[in-house]
Amino acid sequence: MFKKGKSMNYVENILAASSSRKSVSAGDYIEARCDVVLMNDVTGPLAVKEFLKRGKKVKNPDAVVIVCDHFTPNKDIKSAENVKFLRDFARKHKIKFFEIGDGGVEHVILPEKGIVKPGDVVIGADSHTCTYGAIGAFSTGVGSTDAAFAMLTGKIWFKVPEVMDFVYTGKKGKFITGKDLILLTIGKIGVNGANYKAMKFSGPVISSLSMDERFTMCNMAIEAGGKAGFVVPDKKTSEYVEGRPGRKARVFKDGASSEIIPMDISAVKPLVAAPHLPDKVQAAEKMNHVKIDQAVIGSCTNGRLSDFAAAAKIMKGKKVSAGLRCIILPGSQNVYAQALKAGYIETFLKAGCVIAPPTCGPCLGGHMGILAGGETAISTTNRNFVGRMGAVTSKVYLSSPYTAAASALKGRIISPEQL
């Protein structure tokens, strides 16, 4: 194992090792090795075109991952051509990880398939690449040009970020999930509160969270401006990565953070983020006047098995509100299969939901659930910007699967506690 200085924190230790330095500190500029360079069907074509202008050979084909998930199954000729362009590139350059065989949403598939591991340095031409911090990777979103140069050189430069340590304590309520905790955090510090900082999630509450909930929290670090989000690996992390294919996990120590923010969650109620920013956080029970036309449960934020278990628990034996569209988006084929086996898919079908294939779909206004002008949705996705899910006059409220499912039954936003 790489020998590290005792005073460095977890992020500094990873970045020191990946840049072959004995030590680094916040503010240092470094050139780090990339263990994973990720692209999708929106950002990938841009990155590949930049790559082709400057070189002919991918430095490390095994480090490059291309997942077509934003507009797939292809919604039109343009999206089909983009995927074909990437497929041809992957074949020519012997890129093994293209569409990962059985498909799905990139930020669900990569941990599931063992492609990312603790201690990795991961960059992705997608802002929610910060998801992989949940298993102890340093992972962050970059531009398509950065991804192109990482393919050429196998490296990327970083300014080492400061670490903000959010320490969660208190008793977690019955319907409180990782989604509520990250909404609480973004609501507290604002969408610029962690600009270019790594958000560390720690404390007894985080220790008790499932890996699925940790993925949710790290996924939305970017919504607070974070360069990355992470949980220092523990026993749950080891159990999650054990038996998955790929390289071995790297073990790093953790030292002092730049800032500590205590987060007592004892009084937290199920939350929603109102339009048009993720920091406009309010208690769901106070939003009963908001009528909704659509509910979306899934995405890279909340498209894992436990998310559907929560929604199915709320919906079992009930029907979604008349005239309301409820869309279920499994994050991967594996999640879909597990949800089917557990009976969740049957519960959703009987409740009147529409089951979509694993895809980003409506999250980015792609397809399979676009909002018309003046329509309102509640969604377990990660962004509620103007026009994010369709027409610029539509509105999106963000919530946990519990809250989205309860709201779908009533046709208006409610807390699951109010059922």
Closest listed residue to residue 130, CA positions, set 238, 224, 10: 224
- Residue type at 52? L
Q: How many Å apart are CA 99 and CA 286, to the nearest integer?
A: 42
Q: pLDDT value at position 246?
A: 86
Q: How many Å apart are CA 404 and CA 198, to the nearest integer?
A: 29
Closest listed residue to residue 67, CA positions, set 332, 340, 367: 332
Closest listed residue to residue 416, CA positions, set 293, 342, 318: 318
- Residue type at 74? N
User: Contact, 220 vs 380, CB < 8 A?
Assistant: no
The residues near 345 (Cβ < 8 Å, ≥ 6 apart) are 328, 336, 339, 355
Q: pLDDT value at position 305?
A: 97
Q: pLDDT value at position 101?
A: 65
**Using DSSP, how many helices (H) and how many strands (E) does the chain show?**
14, 18
For the chain, which ranges sit under pLDDT 70?
A: 1-6, 100-101
C-beta contacts of 11-16 below 8 A and 24+ residues apart: 11/138, 11/160, 11/161, 11/163, 11/198, 11/228, 11/230, 12/160, 12/255, 13/252, 13/253, 13/254, 13/255, 14/119, 14/121, 14/137, 14/138, 14/250, 14/252, 15/121, 15/138, 15/158, 15/160
User: 271-418: same fold as 10-246+257-262?
Assistant: yes
Tell me, which fold does domain 10-246+257-262 have in CATH? Aconitase; domain 3 (3.30.499)
Could you tell me the residue ranges of all domains in the chain?
10-246+257-262, 271-418
Report how far apart, in Å, the C-alpha atoms of 348 and of each of 40, 76, 164, 334 are: 29, 28, 39, 17
Q: What burial class does residue 338 get, using C-beta atoms within 10 Å of its C-beta: 0-12 exposed, 13-18 middle, 19+ buried?
A: middle
Q: How many Å apart are CA 143 and CA 126, to the nearest integer?
A: 8
Q: pLDDT value at position 259?
A: 95
Q: Output the furthest CA–CA distance in the chain (Å, rounded).
A: 62
- Helix or strand holding residue 392 (H, E): none
| Dihedral in degrees, nearest 10, Cα atoms 89, 94, 99, 105 | -90
* 3.40.50.720, 3.30.930.10, 3.40.50.300, 3.30.499.10: CATH of 271-418: 3.30.499.10
- Look at residue 315 and give its three-state secondary structure: helix
- Residue type at 205? V
Q: What backbone phi and psi angles, to 5 degrees, belong to 263?
A: -130, 95
User: Contact, 324 vs 354, CB < 8 A?
Assistant: no
User: Contact, 317 vs 349, CB < 8 A?
Assistant: no
Q: What backbone phi and psi angles, to 5 degrees, belong to 146?
A: -60, -40
Q: How many Å apart are CA 40 and CA 56, to the nearest integer?
A: 20
Task: Give the bridge partners for 169, in sequence order.
Answer: 264
Q: pLDDT value at position 142?
A: 96
381 token code pair: 């996705």
Q: pLDDT value at position 5?
A: 40
pLDDT, tens only, 167-184: 999 999 999 999 999 999
% of the chain with per-residue pLDDT over 90: 93
Q: pLDDT value at position 2?
A: 34
Cis before 118? omega within 30: no
Q: pLDDT value at position 100?
A: 66
Q: How many Å apart are CA 297 and CA 281, to the nearest integer?
A: 19
